[in-house]
Amino acid sequence: MRGIGVAERRARVGVRHRLALRGGAVEEVVRSVVALHATDPASVFLAAWARLAEPSHAAVETALYEERSLVRMLGMRRTMFVVPLDLAPVVQTSCTDAIAAKQRKLLVQHLESAALNGDLDGWLRRTEEAAHRALLARGEATGAQLGKDEPLLRTQIDPFPDKSYAKPGNITNRVLGLLAAEGRIVRGRPLGSWISSQYRWSPVEAWLPGGMPAVPAAEARVELVRRWLAAFGPGTVADLKWWTGWTAGDVKKALASIGPAEVDMDGVAGFVLPSDLEPVEAPPPWAALLPALDPSAMGWQQRGWYLGEHGPALFDRTGNIGPSIWWNGRIVGGWAQRPDGEVAVRLLEDAGCEASAAIDAEASRLTGWLGDVRVTPRFRTPLERELAA
């Protein structure tokens, strides 16, 4: 059995995730990690910055909103991602359709507080159609604009009527979120700058002229696992189950269809693609400052081989990683932006003089790139809070 130990796994991260050898195009670096986490809008741009030879805000915005080669959507683990356009149908079928079904069921339950009569699911579907028509008429719109156009979206519900914090609100965002989860509309350009989380909505046809293509579920799961193995392999069933949010059964079926090669990860059985057994040599020494929720940090459930003992300082209580510092494939510290704009770093272990110099250079480069923009992660972590103070 081929052995792939910690040293080679770290080399694979540097090479394949475009951290040691940076890429030339936004789409290239997104594909290198399958998709970029997009719950925090700034993370998309910062993750691209870390991987691009010549990073620019404009290049990311062009790919997202002008060339539309990337699309923002809910996907694995009910998390927002930016994915390559050709991967969108795969994510839709393998992950997002199940999210949409749960969202619909929950919204129908909450509609009971609106004192509507008759078939609530039917009423919701008519409301969706009305909202979709209103969006098609505008071409692009905010939720507030669509709420003005379509009275049904102003229907009030109270999800927690018996609680002290009960607060009725209209269903606009819930309906639009459901339409997005169903693959019918897309979050487009933000209302503000690249760090804004308020988006305009567009019909999915603006990205995919024929609409979201249908892909058989089993086929979609196989393709998503194939891409994960190419980017993150070797890994385990547990890693894939966590990353996808699927059952272990679905993961095992997809792996069986691929027929992966089994490898020895220092005593733990893992999998790679059958064509991925050639050794990967370590690249030249490299340092990277990765943002909160970066896919390289969130790619595996079992993280000891690159995280070490640094989890308590770098993760919040719900499992979200904050800004991290990498040296040659392992996490050695964290960073944060201070109010004056400086990117402050702290090493959590002695990585050596070469590492310290390279990390300081990356911090200076990021400080200059951010300029007057101030970035605060959506999920604050202990070390990030301390450094940002």
Residue 370 has what pLDDT?
A: 98
Nearest alpha carbon to residue 283 among 20, 22, 50: 20
CA atoms within 13 A on the CB side of 307: 19
- Across the chain, mean pLDDT equals 96
Beta strands in the chain (DSSP E): 36-37, 70-74, 80-84, 156-157, 169-170, 185-190, 199-203, 261-265, 268-272, 287-290, 324-327, 330-337, 343-347
DSSP string, 301-337: S--HHHHTT-HHHHB-TTS-B--EEEETTEEEEEEEE
Domain count for the chain: 2
Closest CA to 30 of 43, 16, 48: 48
187 located within any domain: yes
User: Does 79 fall in a domain?
Assistant: no
User: Is the pLDDT reported for residue 166 higher than 70?
Assistant: no
CA dist., res. 167 & res. 49, Å (int): 40
For 327, the domain range is 303-388
Distance CA 170, CA 155 (A): 5
Burial class (CB in 10 A: 0-12, 13-18, 19+), 303: middle
Confirm whether 15 is domain-assigned: no
Closest CA to 295 of 246, 228, 358, 344: 228
| pLDDT category of residue 113 using cuts at 50, 70 and 90 | confident
Is residue 272's pLDDT more than 90? yes
Cβ atoms of residues 111 and 120 within 8 Å: yes
Structural domain includes residue 162: yes
Residue with tokens 């209580």: 317
Distance CA 174, CA 13 (A): 38
pLDDT in tens, 65-111: 999 999 999 999 999 999 999 999 999 999 999 999 999 999 999 99
199 is a domain residue:
yes
The tens digit of pLDDT for each residue in 342-351 reads: 999 999 999 9
What tens digit of pLDDT does each residue of 118-155 get? 899 999 999 999 999 999 999 999 999 999 999 999 99
* Residues 94 and 200 both lie in one domain: yes
- Find tokens 């972590």 and name the residue: 381
Q: Pick the last residue of a domain from 171, 206, 241.
A: 206
- pLDDT of residue 163 exceeding 70, the answer is no
CB 291 within 8 A of CB 318: no
End residue of a domain, out of 184, 206, 228 = 206
Amino acid at 234: P
Does some domain include residue 374?
yes
Compute the C-alpha angle 13/73/181, nearest 5°.
140
- Among 160, 184, 206, which residue terminates a domain? 206
Q: Give the pTM.
A: 0.95
Taking only the tens place, the pLDDT of each residue in 295-305 is: 999 999 999 99
Kindly state whether residue 320 falls inside one of the protein's structural domains.
yes
Query: Is residue 288 in some structural domain?
Result: no
Residue type, 289: L
Instruction: State the Cα–Cα distance between residues 202 and 74, nearest whole angstrom.
Output: 15
